[in-house]
Amino acid sequence: MKKALIIGAAGFVGGYLIDYIQKKCVWSIIATKMPYEDFEYPEVKICNLDIMDKDSIVNLLREIHPDYIFHLAAQSSVALSWKNPGLTVDVNIKGSLNLLDAVRELDYVPRVMLIGSGEEYGFVLRDEVPIREENVLRPGNIYAATKACQNMLGKIYFQAYGMDIVMIRAFNHIGPNQAPIFVVSDFCKQVVEIEKELREPVLYVGNLSARRDFSDVRDVVRAYTFLMESGVAGQTYNVGSGEAVSIGEILQLILEFSLKQINVEVDSNRIRPVDIPIIEADIEKLVSCTGWKREITLRDTIKETLDYWRARL
């Protein structure tokens, strides 16, 4: 039986990845969380791990001997990367380097999956959409720059040391349980606060014209497991829906499901210092390698995210 190690499992994606593996893969799972995080999962061994401490990564890998390593641990918010660039660089670059270096010291070759981001492409030209993996990277924010760097390090460790590394560029993923610093979760939470009369009936938004490629997180983790099994070492794969929609269109969908009349106002604090007009994935490489297809519509994800906040607030 293959042994999968999920690093950074206490975040948004980790639980969904565990769920999918438990249902569909015959792999045992060990997951890591930060020492201060509360995270438990039936039939999963959970260990504390801070990727800033390379020795603890080495010790954990020697103890566990995983076949597959999903590297999810990150400072994953673009907004926070503007506010705390140092932390974002430390965790996303130095932390990933610590992991790669720890794996290099092993006496066997596990497969490592580095999760990057569609944000790495940055300032995409009109004729470059949908974006293919070999497109020039022009990161437009600090988070994106750190993920582009992680991808380059992965490629270098593959070439220089023959390590088995598959790299992902994940486009926006959404769903129930996502922190409200991300746009869809933020809008859904605000709508439910208004429904429950916890605030005035005004929904605050940032730039509504930016177009992004949104997928349900459950479709995304399915793609990760497919690529873990059949992705080619040293290669990067886009994971997304292949279809960009504007934040304004997302907002309209959310408002359609709302139970109250809501006014929309632009909040200048929500406008990012640099916002890229369109990011849309070309997913041909993912599809031809794995046969992956989107299964959950944007509508369904939004409905479920609203229901999540209705149950939670």
Q: Which residues bind ligand A2R (CB under 6 A)?
A: 8, 10-14, 34, 37, 49-52, 72-76, 91, 95, 115, 117, 170
Nearer to ligand A2R, 49 or 262 (CB): 49
CB of 110 to ligand A2R, least distance (A): 18
Whose Cβ is closer to ligand A2R: residue 12's or residue 157's? 12
Q: How far is the CB of 187 from ligand A2R (least distance, A)?
A: 17
In eight-state DSSP terms, residue 93 is I
Q: Confirm if 114 and 96 have CB atoms less than 8 A apart.
A: yes
**Shortest distance in whole angstroms from residue 72 CB to ligand A2R:** 4
Cβ proximity of 260 and 200 under 8 Å: no
Three-state DSSP class for residue 135: coil
Q: Which residue lies nearer to ligand A2R by CB, 14 or 130? A: 14
Q: How far is the CB of 35 from ligand A2R (least distance, A)?
A: 9
CB atoms < 10 A from the CB of 236, how many? 20
Residue pair 18/9 in contact (Cβ under 8 Å)? The answer is: yes
Query: In terms of CB distance, is 31 or 194 closer to ligand A2R?
Result: 31
Which single residue brings its beta carbon nearest to ligand A2R? 11
Residues making up the chain, counted from first to last: 313
- In the complex with ligand A2R, the residue whose CB is nearer, 169 or 211, is 169
Write down the least CB distance from residue 235 to ligand A2R, Å.
18
DSSP, residue by residue, 127-191 = GGPSBPTTSPPB--SHHHHHHHHHHHHHHHHHHHH--EEEEEEE--EE-TT--TTSHHHHHHHHH
